[in-house]
């Protein structure tokens, strides 16, 4: 049985990742030598909230949806892990169960490092401790920003800001337009913002009337970053 390997594009996504690319070459080589390639289909469950953690993963293609279900049964999406980013280290550090559910969003390729290999990397490369500390500090800052936005900004401003973030992470420039490569239904956007699909739909239609975006069945196209920025700052 042949061991799966990354395609050229998948390898490029990992190597150019904002966190991974800043590591020393010896550490990058060590991580890649211990990682195995796993390809999963859209919607595949990668881990469940409350289960023991035994893997650290990097996204080489597609995306990973990190979510949970509230006490009332409402689905809440915290984030989408984009190509080039790594996740799953928190539970490997503190030994506690997974904090959220993780599902593939679209056909997804992962680099998977098992718990024993993760610990070996930490013992052999002190640099990894510092790099992961900085990564988790960045995550914490982003979480504080989200909490602040949720408590201080109207939905229209939060939605415009979220679209700009998605355009930065998944944007594909087509002339003057930016097509968001991540397929998101309006329900997906609503779960990201903690709002109803109906309210998100109303705001998006307003953005479209203003010439800020174009709504397609499963994608958004940014027509004017300046208009979205102006909405986000209201």
pLDDT tens-digit series, residues 155-202: 999 999 999 999 998 899 998 899 998 888 889 999 999 899 999 999
Res 151: pLDDT: 84
Residue percentage of the chain with pLDDT more than 90: 78
Statement: residue 89 has pLDDT above 80: yes
Domains of the chain: 8-151 (2.60.120.10), 153-232 (1.10.10.10)
Predicted confidence (pLDDT) at residue 91 exceeds the cutoff of 80: yes
Compute how many other C-beta atoms are within 10 angstroms of the C-beta atom of residue 119.
14
* Tokens of residue 139, six digits: 């995550």
pLDDT at position 1:
43
When pLDDT is cut at 50, 70 and 90, the band that residue 4 belongs to is confident
Q: Over 80: is that where the pLDDT of 127 sits?
A: yes
pTM equals 0.85
């Amino acid at each position: 049985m042949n061991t799966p390997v990354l395609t050229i594009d998948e390898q490029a996504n990992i190597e150019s990742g904002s966190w991974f690319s800043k590591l020393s070459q010896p550490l990058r080589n060590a991580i890649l030598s211990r990682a195995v390639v796993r390809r999963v289909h859209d919607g595949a469950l990668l881990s469940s909230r409350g289960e023991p953690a035994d893997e650290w993963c990097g996204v080489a293609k597609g995306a990973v949806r990190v979510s949970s279900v509230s006490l009332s049964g409402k689905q809440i999406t915290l984030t989408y892990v984009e190509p080039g980013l790594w996740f799953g280290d928190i539970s490997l550090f503190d030994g506690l169960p997974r904090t959220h559910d993780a599902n593939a969003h679209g056909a997804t390729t992962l680099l998977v490092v098992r718990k024993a290999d993760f610990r070996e990397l930490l013992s052999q490369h002190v640099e990894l401790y510092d790099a992961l500390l900085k990564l988790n500090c960045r995550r914490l800052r982003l979480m504080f920003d989200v909490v602040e936005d949720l408590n201080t900004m109207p939905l229209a401003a939060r939605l415009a800001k979220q679209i700009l973030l998605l355009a930065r992470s998944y944007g594909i420039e087509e002339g003057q337009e930016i097509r968001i490569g991540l397929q998101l239904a309006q329900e997906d956007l609503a779960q990201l913002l903690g709002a109803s699909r109906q309210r998100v739909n109303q705001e998006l239609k307003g953005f479209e009337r203003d010439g800020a975006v174009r709504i397609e069945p499963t994608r958004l196209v940014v027509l004017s970053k300046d208009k979205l920025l102006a909405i986000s700052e209201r």
